[in-house]
Structure 1
Amino acid sequence: MNKEHTPLRIVICTKRDLAGALILNQLLPRLGGDTVMVLLSDKTRPVEQAVPELAEMKFLERDLPMDTLFPLIDRLDDDGAPAELATFDGLAQRFGVPIQVIGDINGPEGEEMLRRFAPDIMLSARFSLIFRRNVFDIPRFGTYNVHPGALPRYAGLFAPFRCMLEGGDAIGCTLHRVDDGIDTGPVVGIGWLPIQAERSLLWHVVNTYGAGLDLFMTVLDGLRQGQGPDLQGQDRSLRVYGSLPGREAFDAFRSKGLRLYDPQEYMDVLRRFMPAESAVQLQAIAGAAAEKVGASCCCAHA
C-alpha cells in the first residue's frame, strides 16, 4: 500500500525552546496528510538557575528566543516572504497543527486529551516530562523517544556535553520505545553526528536530533505498510545515567578547549527564523539582549 494512502494520527511532544522549534521545523513538513497534535513542555529545574553555565544555556535556548525574539517575529506583518524556519505560532499557522504547552501529561486532563485524540503513535523529542504507563500505552503503535545520546552508555541528561567531555568521536541519537524506566526502552536504532571540536556544545545539541528524527520517519514508513520496527533490548550492564553537570564538569569542559556556544553559530540559527526584511533589526535586538544579560561573556570562558 502506498504510504500516502495511509494517514496516521501522531502526537509530537517536544520542548518550548530553540531546539524544540528546530525539531518541529524538521518534522512537520514531512507529515503532510497526517493528523498531528503538538505538546510542549516548559519545565525549569532549580539547578538551571544555580549553576552559571546552565543559566547561560537556558538563556540562549529558551529565554532570549522564547521571551524576546519569537514574540517579535510573531507580531510582524506577514506580507513579505516568510522566513526559512517558523516560530511555534508560525508553525501552527503554516501547517494547521494545534500546539500547546502542557504541565502534567500523566494527570487526568492530559490522559483524557490524549484518549480523545486517539493517536496511532506518539513521539517524544527533548520533552521534559516523564511518561507514565497510563499515557505511553495509549497510542496503538506505542510511544517513542528521540534521545540525544547513544544508549545505554549516555542515558539521562546533557548527553552531548558528556560525550564531548569524554572525547567521543560522534554523538549518538537513539530512537527507542518508551517503557516504565527512563531511557531504558528497546532501541530502534542509533544515528550519529560526528563531533567537530571547533564547534560549540550548542551547535552539537541543535544538530544531534536530526538523525533520530530520520529514524522515526523510517518507522512511520514501515507502519504505513503494515510493518512494525525491529526492537533490540538494551544491555543494562552498560547503562550510565547522567544528571545535569556542575561547576567541576564545566571547568573540565573548558580545559579541553571546548566552548558552550559561539556567537556566530548562534546568530546563524536565529537568523533562519527571521523574515528577510526584518532580519537586521531583529539581529540587533537579539545581540543587544544577549550582551545585556552577559550571555556573550560565556564565550570568553567557554
Structure 2
Amino acid sequence: MTMMFKPGRERYVPLFVGGDIVAQSILNEFVPFLIENGFTPVIYLPAYNPVKGAVSASVSPARHTFKKASKASKSMVLPDNPEIARFLKLERKILDEAVFPFLKQESCPDAKMMTPHQLAQKYGLTIKDVTNVNAPEFLDEIRSLKAKGLAGALSIRCFQIFKKPIIDLIKASNDPAHLDPETLGPGEPFFMNLHPGRLPQYRGVFSTLRAMADFARAASLYYFGATLHDVNTGIDTGLTYKMKGLPIKSDESLYAHNLRLVLVATKLLHEFVSEWQGLSASTNEMKEGIPLHQQISHAGDKAEYFTNPTNGEMDEMKAMGIRLASVDEVKTALIERYSVPGSDHAKRLEKVMDRWIADQGIDPGQDYAGPARTVAAFDRGPSVRSARRVVCGRPPVNDPGKPPTGTTGGRIALRV
C-alpha cells in the first residue's frame, strides 16, 4: 500500500471544536500532543446556531428509534425547556460571551488552560471561526489543506452536522487501491467524531444526562462515556474505533460528569492518533489497518436517537434528584482552569461572570434538585504546560491524578 505522506510534508489536522468547557478542555490537552507527534493542528470554531422548533426535512423520523423524543433533526434545535436552556448558557455561552472576552484583555499566564486563540498564538497555529462547515467557500479551505498534506480531521463536540461533500473531501484517499471501509489503512485520511456518550445506545444530544437517568432508574452500577467513531452522513452512526467509560456518581451534577469525561475522551484521541501514526510511519506494505467496528447493540439496549429532553422528562429527572449545574460549581471550574483561585485575577474574572449571569436572568441560588457541589480539581495530565511563571497569584496546584485502568459491570463493559 502506498504512503500518503512523504518525508518533510506537512500533516495538517483540522479540529472542529465546540465552544463548551468539555471541548475546550480536550483542545488544551490535545493540541500539544498533536504538535509533539509531528502534526499541525488547524483550529476551527463552528458557530452554534440552534434553530427554534425546526426539523430538517432531509431526515425521516422513521429512520430512528425514539424514547419519548418524537423527532430527529440534522439542525441544532433550541431547547424549549428552560432548565436545559439555562444549562447550555452555563456550559457554552458563558465562555464565549464572558470568560474569553475578559481573558483577551487580562490573560493569566499561570492558568491551567488557555483560550483557543491563546493556544493558536502560543503554537503559531491557524484558527478561524466557521459560520457553516458545509459552505462551498469552506470546502475550498479544506481543499487548500489537502493540497499541502491532510492527515485527517477530528470533530470534538462540534455544534454542526457535516454533510456528504465535506466528508468525502476530507476522507478522499490518495490510494485508490484502498477500498475496505472497515479499516483505516496506512496514510488514509481519517475523519473521526468524538461523541460524548456510549454508542449506539445514546445517539444524539445530552447522552450523559440520559445515562444518568437510566442509572437512577436501575439503581445499579452504570456507565457514561465517550465513543470515537468514523464520520458518515448519518448522525452518530459511523463505524466505531473505540469506546471508554467511567462510572456514574449519584452525587454529581451533569456538569461534573461532563468534566470527568475529559480524561477518557482525551485518552481516546491520543490512542487513535498514536495508532494511525505508527501505521502510517511504516515503510513496509501492510495488509491490515486500524480496525473500525460495526456498532452492536447490547442485550436490553436499543439504538436510540435522543433530542433535547422534554419538560416531562426534566420533571422526572428532577424527581430522581438529578442536577444539571449550579452557578457556584461552574464559576469554580472556570476559575480553576482559566485563572488562579484566590488571586486578584480570579476575583475580577468572577465579577465578570457574576455580571453576565445577572444579565442572563439566571438565579445564582437555583440548583433544582440538590445542593451545590464544587467540581473536583482539574486533571492537567502530561501534555499541558509543566512550568509557568507565577504572575497572577500563587503557583497552581498540580493534581495529575491517574487514569482508570478498567471498568466492568452493569449492562456493558467498556474499555479504558
TM-score, normalised on structure 1? 0.89
Q: Which residue identity lines up with residue 339 of structure 2 in the other structure?
A: M
In the TM superposition, structure 1's runs of 4+ consecutive aligned residues that sit over 6 Å from their partners are none
Task: Choose which of 125, 131, 138 in structure 2 pairs with 1:103.
Answer: 131
8 Å contact kept, 1:133–1:179? yes
Q: Separation in 1 of the partners of 2:158 and 2:198?
A: 17
Q: Which residue of 1 aligns with 2:274?
A: 221
Q: Separation in 2 of the partners of 1:94 and 1:195?
A: 36
Q: Separation in 2 of the partners of 1:50 and 1:123?
A: 30
**Residues 211-242 of structure 1, C-alpha deviation per residue, up to 9 Å, x if partnerless?**
23312211211222226421111237931111
Check if 1:35 corresponds to 2:40.
Answer: yes
Task: Choose which of 8, 11, 18 in structure 2 pairs with 1:8.
Answer: 11
Q: Separation in 2 of the partners of 1:203 and 1:133?
A: 35
Q: Which residue of 2 aligns with 1:156?
A: 204
Q: Which residue of 2 aligns with 1:197?
A: 250
Unaligned runs of 5+ in 2: 1-7, 53-76, 172-187, 216-220, 281-288, 371-416
Q: Which residue of 2 aligns with 1:113?
A: 141
Q: Which residue identity lines up with residue 129 of structure 2 in the other structure?
A: V
Q: Which residue of 1 aligns with 2:338?
A: 273
- How far the C-alpha of 1:44 sits from its partner, in A, is 3.5
Seen in structure 2, the aligned counterparts of structure 1 residues 300 and 179 have a Cα distance that, compared at 3 Å, is closer
Seen in structure 2, the aligned counterparts of structure 1 residues 268 and 146 have a Cα distance that, compared at 3 Å, is same
Q: Which residue identity lines up with residue 99 of structure 1 in the other structure?
A: I
Percent sequence identity over aligned pairs: 26
- How far the C-alpha of 1:251 sits from its partner, in A, is 1.0
Q: Which residue of 2 aligns with 1:147?
A: 195
Seen in structure 2, the aligned counterparts of structure 1 residues 185 and 58 have a Cα distance that, compared at 3 Å, is same
Q: Which residue of 1 aligns with 2:3?
A: none
Seen in structure 2, the aligned counterparts of structure 1 residues 44 and 204 have a Cα distance that, compared at 3 Å, is farther
Q: Separation in 2 of the partners of 1:55 and 1:142?
A: 34
Q: Separation in 2 of the partners of 1:265 and 1:170?
A: 22
8 Å contact kept, 1:42–1:101? yes
Unaligned runs of 5+ in 1: none
Alignment of 1:1-302 (within 5 A): 8-32=11-35, 33-45=38-50, 46=52, 48=78, 50-76=80-106, 81-118=109-146, 119-137=150-168, 138-139=170-171, 140-167=188-215, 169-226=222-279, 228-235=289-296, 238-271=302-335, 272-274=337-339, 276-291=343-358, 293-301=361-369
**Residues 89-115 of structure 1, C-alpha deviation per residue, up to 9 Å, x if partnerless?**
222212222222212212211111111
The structure in which a higher percent of residues are helix is 1
8 Å contact kept, 1:59–1:295? no
**Residues 121-156 of structure 1, C-alpha deviation per residue, up to 9 Å, x if partnerless?**
111111021112221232442210111111111111
Question: What secondary structure, in the 3-state scheme, does the structure 2 residue paired with 1:11 have?
Answer: strand
8 Å contact kept, 2:26–2:265? no
8 Å contact kept, 1:148–1:209? no
8 Å contact kept, 1:173–1:209? no
Report the count of equivalent residues: 297
Q: Separation in 2 of the partners of 1:26 and 1:173?
A: 16
8 Å contact kept, 1:106–1:132? yes
